[in-house]
Amino acid sequence: MKLRVFDSEQVAAIACAALIAEAVRAHPSVVLGLPTGRTPLNVYRELVALSARGAVDLSRASTFNLDEFFGIPPEDAGSFRAYMERHFFQHVNLARERIHFLDGSAPDAEAECARYDAELAAAGGLDLVLLGIGANGHIAFNEPGDSLLAPCHRVKLGRETRLANAALFGDDPTRVPLEALTLGMAAILQARRVVLLAFGEGKAEAVSAMVKGPVTPRCPASFLQLHRDVEVWVDRAAAGQ
């Protein structure tokens, strides 16, 4: 794991957008794994700016988002799909047919997860996955527990995770869906390259557990220690521990 400490979140976001743009230039049909949450917002803003200037052409790239709430349709303003449309998809020249997403309104969660894993396999897996990290050490929606699951799966969200996502639902944690669908650990660990971003003091403990702690399902991000090409980009606050 390579740890890189940036002076600020903004500097890291600019560098991260540049890294993604470079990956797209090197391999125009790159397959990107994309997160939601507060952390990548500035990265998407920078990428949109690069795209508007013609500095990155996403027309042949594919994207797979990591996760989605279960029990709400993509059109729900709180869905991750709606977040991605608002902050990224609407503003860049990605081909709609190469945007891949879990459908939180699918009637059969298991079938939906199998479909998503199969689509990802058909695309050749993720070339580059951008990750955030939950304060409890989750990546995508792989929550801490006694064990972790390799394939895409349905998951119950922890209280802390639902609180952290309340902003998408009018700051009302009771409106945050109880469950989600998420790519499993296999898709993430099989990505050819991983860049994880973490900013702010609230992530310091999780970052420390991920980087220095034992590899344990109690901190799903700690499994990234087993991957050969992971960069962890943090600001000073998140590097605090």
**Binding residues for ligand GLP (CB under 6 A):** 35-39, 66-67, 132-134, 140-141, 161, 164-165
Which CB sits closer to ligand GLP, 66 or 232?
66
Q: By Cβ distance, which residue is nearest to ligand GLP?
A: 132
Smallest gap from Cβ 200 to ligand GLP, in A, equals 8
Which CB sits closer to ligand GLP, 24 or 132?
132
Which CB sits closer to ligand GLP, 60 or 175?
175
By CB atoms closer than 10 A (0-12, 13-18, 19+), residue 75 is exposed
Please state, in angstroms and rounded to a whole number, the distance separating the CA atoms of residues 125 and 120.
5
Which CB sits closer to ligand GLP, 67 or 127?
67
Annotated catalytic residue 143:
yes
Q: Catalytic: which of 9, 112, 117, 143?
A: 143
Paired tokens of 78? 């709180």
Q: Catalytic: which of 67, 112, 117, 127?
A: 67
Question: Dihedral sign, CA of 164, 165, 171, 175?
Answer: negative
Smallest gap from Cβ 57 to ligand GLP, in A, equals 26
Contacts with 158 (C-beta within 8 Å, 6 or more apart), sequence order:
136, 138, 143, 144
Angle between helices 80-87 and 41-52 (to 10 degrees): 40
C-alpha dihedral, 205 to 211 to 213 to 218, nearest 10°: 70
Smallest gap from Cβ 139 to ligand GLP, in A, equals 7
Q: Catalytic: which of 138, 142, 153, 165?
A: 138
Which CB sits closer to ligand GLP, 36 or 51?
36
Smallest gap from Cβ 105 to ligand GLP, in A, equals 18
Paired tokens of 59? 């027309």
Give how far Cα 80 sits from Cα of 62, 71, 74, 230, 238, Å.
17, 12, 8, 24, 24
Annotated catalytic residue 67:
yes
Please state, in angstroms and rounded to a whole number, the distance separating the CA atoms of residues 227 and 191.
9
The pair phi, psi for residue 67, each rounded to 5°, is -160, 170
Q: Catalytic: which of 65, 136, 142, 165?
A: 136
Smallest gap from Cβ 199 to ligand GLP, in A, equals 8
Catalytically active residues, by annotation: 67, 136, 138, 143
